[in-house]
Amino acid sequence: MAVDNSTSAQSKSATPVGDPGKIRNVVFVGSSGTGKTTVVEGLLAATGEIGRAGSVAEGTTVTDYEDIEHKTNRSVGLALAPLSFGGVKINVIDAPGYADYLGDLRAAIRGADAAVFVISAVDGISGATRLLWDELARERMPRAILITKLDNPRADYDEVVEACRQSFGESVLPMMVPIYKSEAEVGKLLDILTGKVVDFTTGQRQVRAAEGDEVGKMERNREAFIEALITESGDEDLMEAYLEGDELDGEALKADLQKAMAAASFFPIMPMAAAGGIGTDELLYLIRDGFPSPVVAELPEVLDPAGKEVAVSCDPKGPLVAEVIKTTQDPYVGRISIVRVFSGTLRAESTVHVEGHGSSADAAVGLGGHAGNERVGTLTSPLGAKQRPVPYAVAGDLAAVARLTSAETGDTVSDPNKPLVAQPWMSPEAMLPVAIKAANSSDEDKLGTGLNRLVSEDPTLRVEHNPETGQTVLWTMGDAHVDVTFQRLADKFGVKVERIPYRVALRETFNQKLTAEGRHVKQSGGHGQYAKCQVEVEPLAPGAGFEFVDKVVGGAVPRQFIPSVEKGVKAQMAKGVLAGYPVVDIRVTLFDGKAHSVDSSDAAFQMAGAVALREAAKKAGVINLLEPVVTMSILVDDEHVGAIMSDLSSRRGRLTGTESVAGGRTMVKAEVPQFEVTNYATDLRSMSRGTGSFTSDYLGHEPMPPHRVEAVIAEAAKAKAGS
């Protein structure tokens, strides 16, 4: 959108903005390798926030991605970089494109009002690119497409434009067209909206009228663009003027662009060759003049303490409603919360109400329980490692808040005299379980503290202490998420952890009726121990649980010791009788036994009850191992359906159906033993080239095949021998 010949080098992004209409919140979204971070650096350099592009290494000062990124070669979260351009503050949110950080992407979308969707002119559109587009489309996020790396010899702008239209629809049209000066060197940009040419051939950016061959190329592209723009904006007056051949007013076209983009119904395509700075100013003008301000953005649903919806607007004088979109731990400052202010004004050194996870506000919010008042510390406009203090942040703005010690990602910050809570965004479900233990005993106490803090920062990370297996399990988004979590534990909390084999919560049960005797007799001088009991063990229907039946007659087992036998049986059931897994769905009938007038005791009969169950299990083939079975719904591109179905069959899965989904995708449904899909999050990503997703729900426990049982027993014996 060519308007003038230069950008202001004067940075004002650390100056508080009082008018929400002068703010643009923009998330940059793109797959790894698209040059997204380089683009952000170019914008910061062009507006004087940093030195010229290239002075800041990717993933360091500008993006604030922590040292972990260098160690794992993966970005680890969203980053905020404010800049000032043409009287407007632009909050740039750089969102990770890697699939393991879908949670951070959704948080970044919550903080933004529009998106720049970055695509490499070299790599084009992949299945993963389409998934990112779907995430934005689901939220009806206004967006423009930025095609990067046009200075690469393999770049093909026209081909990528056509691929975008095929993948994303007819409302995707180029607003600028590059003209090459030489191979891999863009010399000019045709600005389709204004009908001007942005010329870089002299080494300086100059805006002029089209001339020569440029006129024809401009007209060929402009007709389709203007028609689509006016149609999507719904501007009947401008459409009439256009059809009558009148000269179109540039300001009217800009207004229509704002309307069409705000409605998320029109998506302009912009070119960029970042190395030469070509396209940087044009993108800034588009963000300033075409992207919606927070004033017209849709706000999340807000509830009062009674669960009643409260109407709020992007008004600095309204009730305070802000939401934490990211939390981090700084070694010197402590917890830092990046917040998006939706209503009211957040002021430094003020008292606020922090509430989230469905506490007193309303169970319908769906989170789960904390609330309290806190004093806001320093309020800053962050840029990488720099924290530039500001006195306040108005509705529509983003800022970093220090020392909100209880705040977690997704929490709402409001006025303590009028507490409110914003309906949270939906966080993706972690599907890759990883069992861990502290590397040494000195780290065990610190491990729990470290995990709790990481979970408060990252809603996609879930910690489970499984009582059936005794393991501490991290539920993560993928292997990259695991690597970063381990690194954070080590760097932030000094805790080293080890990954250990994940145990599926199997169960044991009897498959036939049989009798056994439990005998616990010890005489070693002094007071002895004496207890005998005879029991019958029989299987019950799946899910029936445990029954204990007393059929003792004649006082063979004194009445006071019958509960002791039951307690001993239950204790042994919890420990297992075959491979160390709980025993379920049995009836134990006590029908006889013996006692001693002096040496019998509660403890002795508990031991006898446990022995009786173990003795019953010694007969070969009387115990079944039960494994959990889950129902799975797997969404993949049509081209991968055959491979997915074949793979599920190899995992002992039962296919239950398929369902066509819009966009050339298929939902495959199956019932699969959980034992076979513990690493499915990683395996599916590989099989579907990063485009597949799945959900699963517990169906029930079913008998495990004999050959699998043998392997589990052997593994249990090996583990016991090594302990």
Q: Is the pLDDT of residue 66 over 50?
A: no
> Which CATH number belongs to the domain containing residue 482 in this structure?
3.30.70.870
Residue 386 lies in a domain: yes
Residues 6+ apart with CB under 8 A from 187: 179, 180, 181, 199, 200, 201
Short-list 389, 487, 706, 409, CA closest to 578: 706
Query: Stretch 300-321: mean pLDDT, rounded?
Result: 94
- Structure confidence by residue, pLDDT tens digits, 637-657: 999 999 999 999 999 999 999
Give percent of the chain with pLDDT exceeding 70: 91
Shared-domain flag, residues 36 and 170: yes
Query: Stretch 678-706: mean pLDDT, rounded?
Result: 93
**CA 204, CA 37: separation in Å to the nearest integer?**
24
Least confident of 128-132, 265-269, 557-561: 128-132
The amino acid that residue 342 corresponds to is: F
Which of 443, 465, 498 is the last residue in one of the domains? 498
Least confident of 31-35, 469-473, 508-512: 31-35
**CA 95, CA 114: separation in Å to the nearest integer?**
13
Name 199's bridge partners: 188, 206
> For the chain, what is the domain count?
5
pLDDT given for residue 589 in this prediction: 98
Q: Is the pLDDT of residue 7 over 60?
A: no
CB 147 within 8 A of CB 161: yes
**CA 284, CA 295: separation in Å to the nearest integer?**
19
Query: Stretch 606-620: mean pLDDT, rounded?
Result: 94
CA dihedral 35, 329, 44, 410 (to 10 degrees): 80
The amino acid that residue 346 corresponds to is: L
Shared-domain flag, residues 291 and 319: no
Which of 476, 498, 520 is the last residue in one of the domains? 498
Least confident of 168-172, 397-401, 431-435, 438-442: 438-442
DSSP 57: -
Shared-domain flag, residues 358 and 409: yes
Shared-domain flag, residues 135 and 193: yes
For 623, the 3-state DSSP assignment is strand
Please indicate whether residue 621 or residue 292 has the higher confidence score (pLDDT): 292
Q: Is the pLDDT of residue 69 over 50?
A: no
- Structure confidence by residue, pLDDT tens digits, 234-266: 888 888 888 887 878 778 888 899 999 999 999
Shared-domain flag, residues 439 and 404: no
Shared-domain flag, residues 400 and 324: yes
Shared-domain flag, residues 84 and 211: yes
Question: Which residue range forms the structural domain that includes residue 688?
Answer: 625-708
Residue 7 lies in a domain: no
Could you tell me the pLDDT band of residue 67, with boundaries at 50, 70 and 90?
very low
For tokens 């404010």, name the residue. 82
Query: Stretch 521-543: mean pLDDT, rounded?
Result: 89
Copy the structure tokens of residue 99. Answer: 């699939």
Copy the structure tokens of residue 531. Answer: 């207890």
How many beta carbons lie within 10 A of that of residue 458, not counting itself?
27
**CA 36, CA 94: separation in Å to the nearest integer?**
8
Could you tell me the pLDDT band of residue 716, with boundaries at 50, 70 and 90?
confident
pLDDT given for residue 275 in this prediction: 76
Burial class of 460 by CB neighbour count within 10 A (0 to 12, 13 to 18, 19+): buried
Shared-domain flag, residues 483 and 592: no
Query: Stretch 307-324: mean pLDDT, rounded?
Result: 95
Q: Is the pLDDT of residue 98 over 70?
A: yes
Query: Stretch 202-209: mean pLDDT, rounded?
Result: 90
pLDDT given for residue 708 in this prediction: 86
Residue 81 lies in a domain: yes
Shared-domain flag, residues 417 and 562: no
Q: Give strand ranges (E) for 35-191.
A: 79-85, 88-94, 114-120, 143-148, 172-174, 176-182, 185-191
Shared-domain flag, residues 523 and 492: no
**CA 148, CA 144: separation in Å to the nearest integer?**
13
CB 576 within 8 A of CB 582: yes
Residues 6+ apart with CB under 8 A from 467: none
Which of 621, 651, 678 is the last residue in one of the domains? 621
Give percent of the chain with pLDDT exceeding 90: 65
- Structure confidence by residue, pLDDT tens digits, 358-400: 433 334 443 446 889 999 988 998 876 677 899 999 999 999 9
